[in-house]
Structures are given as structure tokens and as C-alpha cells.
Structure 1
Amino acid sequence: MSTSNQTDKKVLSVFDFDGTLTRHDSFIPFLRFAFGNRFFTRRLIKLAMPSIQCLRRKLTRDELKEILISTFLTGIEEKWVQEKAELYCNLYWERLMRASGLLAVASEVSSGVEVTLCSASPKLVLQPFAERLGVKLIGTELESEKGILTGRITGHNCRCIQKINRLEAIYGSLDQYHLRAWGDTRGDYELLAAAKDAHWRHFHPNWDRKRAAITRLKATSFKG
């Protein structure tokens, strides 16, 4: 009886974006692309000390992300970022996206299930990618006042437990779904743990998946 209930559940397929569907992070390269090398380098220097503090665990990853966004996007027109994001998507699609990931997303979409990206990267930047993939998008929301970005995040950085919170705010309790999830970092653990079908670094080369497994094993050993 319980097997039948599981089968009858709607399928919700959730893909992390950076590192899962892409070969590497997309947001920092986007900032370099949008602002140009000279401006990007000058602003990046300001992040040296916060980055060190993060490594020393005096700042969290979320706090560092907020500083990054504040440093680059305070007082910037939202429309300008949208235009740059569309251009970035068009120019970098082939070199950024993993072919196997694209096939997996297309397969989920064609099967008629609910498909969404769920990413810590700003939704504003990833919107063109989601549209091209033909899926919904959940991402970190940037605060905007009269079309100008304030440099602040609305709500929380969309990683770890916040991915679950954001999904449930839109879809309701995840228990009502057969949840399928794809991820590649610590920020996806809660999502993968909640999934009936969890895929860890599924589109990465085999050697990369083995290295990641060894790293997790060592981390667990040290904790013990």
C-alpha cells in the first residue's frame, strides 16, 4: 500500500546550478564579465580580508556572500544586470554548461514532471539560464528599490536548509512529492537528504566523484 502511495506522488526534480549543471561557479565569472577586468580586480581586492576571515571562520559563507554582493552590486540598475545576464548566458553557455547535465534536465522536462533550479546564486543572474532550460527558478533574491539594487539580499542566501525552506514556500511540504535532487557541495546536503532520489556530483567525471567521496570520508573521520 505504501509503495502505491509513493508511486502516486507527483515528482519534483530539483537541480543545483553552480558546479552541478555547470563546470564551475558562475556568479564571480559573471561579475568579471559584466564589470570588466579592471573594475572587477579593484573591487575584488576589497574582499581579501573578508575572505581570510571566512577561512579563519570569523565570517560565515553567507556573510562573505553578502559582502561580495554589497561590494559589486550596490547602486547598480537592476535592468543593467538583467541585460548583462542575458548576454553572459548567450556567450558562455557552451563553455559553462555540462552536456550531461543539460540532457538530464531535458529528460526531466520532457517527462512532464515539475522541474526547478534551486541555487545560491542570484536569481537575477540565473534567470536567462532557467528560461533557456525551460524550467522554474529559485535563487538568492537581491533587494531592489525603484529599479536600483541596494546591495542587500532579500531574506537569506539560498543554500543549506534555506533551499528546503524556499522549496516548501513555493511547493508546500516536500513530503507530498517524490523528490529527485542533484547537487555537488555542502550547500546541497539538506536538499539531497530530503530527496527520495539523491544524485551527488552525478554529472562530474568519475575521478572527481571519487575524490569528493574521499574528502567526505576524511572529514567524517576527523569529527570522530
Structure 2
Amino acid sequence: MNLALFDFDGTITTREMFPDFMRFAVSKRRLLVGSAFFAPMVLGYKLGIVSGSTIRRHLINFGFSGVHADRFEKIGKQFSDDVLPDALRPMALERIRWHKAQGDVVVVVSGALDVYLRHWCRTHDVDLICSSLEVENGRLTGRFRGAQCVGAEKSRRVRETCKLDDFPVVYAYGDTTEDFDLLSIAHKKYYRWQEVA
């Protein structure tokens, strides 16, 4: 039995799903105000000046601060059911099926949010390590609960959750620099679906 670690956005899906989820989950009024307010930051992200984790932190705070947790849960389930199926990469689903047929433990390790990934992973019978949002008194605070599951946090959480020495071979699949730490703990590394040394 081996271990297979999959990034989600851009690896299992054909694109990053965070913008799609924001458009799906945030009210039109907030989106309109936010698109003007965050335009310079988005430009900085596209130019490589602003990190993905920084922009996500600010957008999460703006988009979800004060939202009822129950409503957020319903939105996450609906997004998982209605949007994710059309964004999945057939090659990734085939690889997940292959690992499961071998009896491997398959874990999605993602910076994306548990509010929708939890449902997707349950449907596909795979484990999950990811980011989640903080809730106080039944409402979202607009902050992440703990660190975002990106960069070195991915490999830290995997080590915390899985005893790597128990697996003869560890596979890891990723597509951005935020996945490099995850790939570094694997015996077999795949970056943008190409095996790398």
C-alpha cells in the first residue's frame, strides 16, 4: 500500500477554482464593490508581486466576514455538486482510480476550502487535508482557521497526519510553486503531470 498526494486546483481540476467559488458564493453587491477595491491587488498577483496566499486572505475576509456558517455550508455543497464536475481533469480522475485499484491511500492536499472539498472527497472516497475558515457564534470571521494549506504547510500537515515511513512509495502531484514542498516529500513526483526527478 502506497500513499498518493494530490493537489486539487489545477491538478485535479483544469483551472484554479478559488475565483469560481468566490463568484458562486459571494453576493453580487459584494463582488461589484470588491472587483473595484481589489483590482490593484489582482494585477499585482498576475504580475507576480502579490502572493496567492496574500490575495486569498484578503478576499476571504472581504467576501465572507459575517456570513452565517449554515448558509456557507449549503453553498459549499452546491458548488461541489454543480460546478466542480465540469472542471475535473479526466486524466486526474483516472490516476486516482488507478491508485485506489492498487490499494493506495489517496489524499487531496489543497489550499482550497473544506466547505466544498469535503463533499467532493467524500463522493470520490479519498482523504482530505486542506484550508478551512474560522467560525465564531455561528458566523464566519473572515479569517482562515490556522494557516492556509499552501507551500510548506502542505508537507507539514501531511507529516502530521500520515506516517510517511509506513508507505513504501509516496507519490505527489502538483502544478504550482505552492506544491513544491509537497513534491519534496515524495519518492515519485509529478509536476503538471510530468514526472520529475
**TM-score bin, normalised by smaller chain:** 0.7 to 0.9
The percent identity for this pair of structures is 26
SS of 2:103's partner is coil
Gaps of 5+ in 2: none
Deviation, structure 1 residue 63: 2.3
Residue 78 (structure 2) pairs with residue 87 (structure 1): yes
**CA–CA separation in structure 1 for the residues paired with 2:165 and 2:29:** 49
Q: Which residue of 2 aligns with 1:107?
A: 98
Q: Which residue of 2 aligns with 1:7?
A: none
2:170 counterpart letter in structure 1: L
Structure 1 or 2: more helix by fraction = 1
User: What are the within-5 Å matches in structure 2 for residues 7-46 of structure 1?
Assistant: 10-46=1-37
2:20 counterpart letter in structure 1: P
Gaps of 5+ in 1: 1-9, 203-208, 214-224
Q: Which residue of 1 aligns with 2:136?
A: 145
Residue 65 (structure 2) pairs with residue 62 (structure 1): no
Deviation, structure 1 residue 128: 1.5
Kindly indicate whether the alpha-carbon contact (under 8 Å) linking 2:108 and 2:127 is maintained by their aligned counterparts in 1. yes
- Structure 1 residues 38 and 75 mapped into 2: Cα distance closer, same or farther (>3 Å)? closer
1:113 counterpart letter in structure 2: D
Q: Which residue of 2 aligns with 1:4?
A: none
Kindly indicate whether the alpha-carbon contact (under 8 Å) linking 1:143 and 1:150 is maintained by their aligned counterparts in 2. yes
Residue of structure 1 aligned with 2:152, choices 153, 161, 168: 161
Aligned length: 193
1:47 counterpart letter in structure 2: F
Kindly indicate whether the alpha-carbon contact (under 8 Å) linking 1:81 and 1:125 is maintained by their aligned counterparts in 2. no
Kindly indicate whether the alpha-carbon contact (under 8 Å) linking 1:27 and 1:125 is maintained by their aligned counterparts in 2. no
